[in-house]
Amino acid sequence: MDGNALCYRCHMASEYGPRKHHFHDPAKEGASCVECHMHERTYMVVDPRRDHSIRIPRPDLSDKLGTPNACNQCHQDKSTKWATDYLRQWYGDDLLNKPHYGETFWAGRMMYPEAQQELLRLGADQDQPPMVRATAISLLGGYPNASTSQLLEQTVVDPVPLVRYATMTVVEYAEPEFISKLAVPRLTDSVKLVRLMAANSLAGVPRNLIPEEALQALNTALEEYNASLMINADHPTTHLNFGNLYLNAGNYEKAEASYKEAIELEPGLVGPYINLADLYRRLERDDEGEKVLKSALDKYPALAAIHYSLGLLKVRMGDNVEAMVYLENAIKYAPDDPHYSYVYAIGLNSQQQPQEALKILKRAVKQHPYDRNILYSLATISMENGMSQEALQYVEKLVEYYPEDPNYQQVLNTLSNN
């Protein structure tokens, strides 16, 4: 069908076709439904695809979140403010003031404490699109507390398969007892993807925590998972996934072989190097792990994750001087990663450089004001160095942001009474 004909089969042409709806010349591209609501983007130079979310353009969110919008993808010489002003002029403030789940997802990815309640609401709301609910649930992995667990116990039996799958991806990182409670019933789920994720989640759970009557279902699901991976046996990521599965199951010999196979198939893939080195850490074979990581570093000298892994390895080997060089490089190549800043600061403090540690942490907290590790480290290092008032401010923030954690309240009481 040409033009807007397909859309007009459901949406009345008399309502959505005139200029009063789209404020563009009806004869030009701006009046096209797909140009506004399904804007096209070209991937890999040769693959043009339209956005199937079919959303209303929100240039105001582009300013907040850095997301694209249809207005500025056409009017590339104009600012997002220009586009936002026109939307406000045409449709009023109601459109721009309407809450959008994209803002919640952004806050959830930043792990802002106030995002959790809205993520919980979206995850439970059966009127939301399945992808929105699943995304909200997946982001709740950053909020491991009782409220999240309560929702997961509901969504694990949700009628929507994508929601059950998202639940399994979060459950995978929970305590073994909770994994068993939620994942065992899903071993016989009607949807294969959910069964496979349940099997993967249970691979590392001690067998005494899995009911005896469920062991056969687990073995069947694991065989099904293995078979699904083997479909792409020529892909390095397949062997990376095999390695992770064997690692979780405690089969270290097979995990090692799988990671090595992934490296052989694609020497440029970073994950297998890091995972293989971590396996050697478990096996107390750090000398071999160092060789693996340095081999990766030769290929990716500016990759922060490799420097970070080498830094931790050097700490374990007792070479603190070289460890700090690698950990500092991790910050250099990934300055926005709060965990790298946290670990480097802890290292500095352990080497009697508290002021340098505080400098790193204060810089990090500006970008990540809600990060627990950074705030707690700022509090403890400040307290150790006689800066009680500064320490008190950081602990007060922890209590405000994470009221469910009694440890922060105890620290606050101690500081307040001194």
The alpha helices in 80-171, defined as continuous H runs, are 80-91, 93-97, 101-109, 115-124, 130-139, 146-155, 161-171
For 77-125, how does the pLDDT look when each residue is reduced to its tens digit (9 = 90+)?
A: 999 999 999 999 999 998 888 889 999 999 999 889 999 999 999 999 9
What's the token pair of residue 395?
């602990």
**pLDDT for 396:** 95
Q: Is the pLDDT of residue 365 over 80?
A: yes
Q: Is the pLDDT of residue 53 over 90?
A: no
**Is residue 348 within 8 Å of 362, Cβ to Cβ?**
no
Q: Distance between the two ends of the chain, CA-based, in angstroms?
A: 76
The total of other beta-carbon atoms located within 10 Å of residue 44's CB is 5
For 279-336, how does the pLDDT look when each residue is reduced to its tens digit (9 = 90+)?
A: 999 999 999 999 999 999 999 999 999 999 999 999 999 999 999 999 999 999 999 9
Whole-angstrom distance, CA of residue 247 vs CA of residue 253: 9
**Is residue 377 within 8 Å of 397, Cβ to Cβ?**
no
Average pLDDT over residues 24-35: 91
Q: Is the pLDDT of residue 1 over 80?
A: no
Q: What are phi and psi of 49, to 5 degrees?
A: -135, 145
What's the token pair of residue 214?
């469920």
Q: What length does the chain have?
A: 418
* Least confident span in 171-175, 193-197, 271-275: 171-175
What residues contact 160, with CB distance under 8 A and at least 6 apart? Answer: 126, 130, 133, 134
Whole-angstrom distance, CA of residue 105 vs CA of residue 65: 10
Q: Is the pLDDT of residue 179 over 80?
A: yes
Provide the mean pLDDT of the chain.
Answer: 95
| Exposed / middle / buried, residue 86 (Cβ in 10 Å: 0-12, 13-18, 19+) | middle
The total of other beta-carbon atoms located within 10 Å of residue 60's CB is 20
pTM comes to: 0.86
Which domains can be identified in the chain, with CATH numbers? 1-55 (no CATH), 340-418 (1.25.40.10)
Q: Is the pLDDT of residue 405 over 90?
A: no
Rounded to 10 degrees, the C-alpha dihedral 141/143/144/146 comes to -120
**pLDDT for 27:** 87
Whole-angstrom distance, CA of residue 111 vs CA of residue 142: 6
Angle at 187 between CA 184 and CA 188, to 5 degrees: 125
**pLDDT for 64:** 87
Q: Is the pLDDT of residue 418 over 80?
A: no
**pLDDT for 99:** 87
Question: Which residue, among 5, 16, 28, has the nearest Cα to 74 in the 3D structure?
Answer: 28
pLDDT over 70, % of the chain = 100
**pLDDT for 51:** 87
Q: How far is CA 214 from CA 156, 170, 180, 193, 228, in A?
A: 17, 21, 10, 18, 21
Whole-angstrom distance, CA of residue 212 vs CA of residue 34: 55
Place 415 in a pLDDT band, splitting at 50, 70 and 90. Answer: confident
Q: Which amino acid is at 405?
A: D
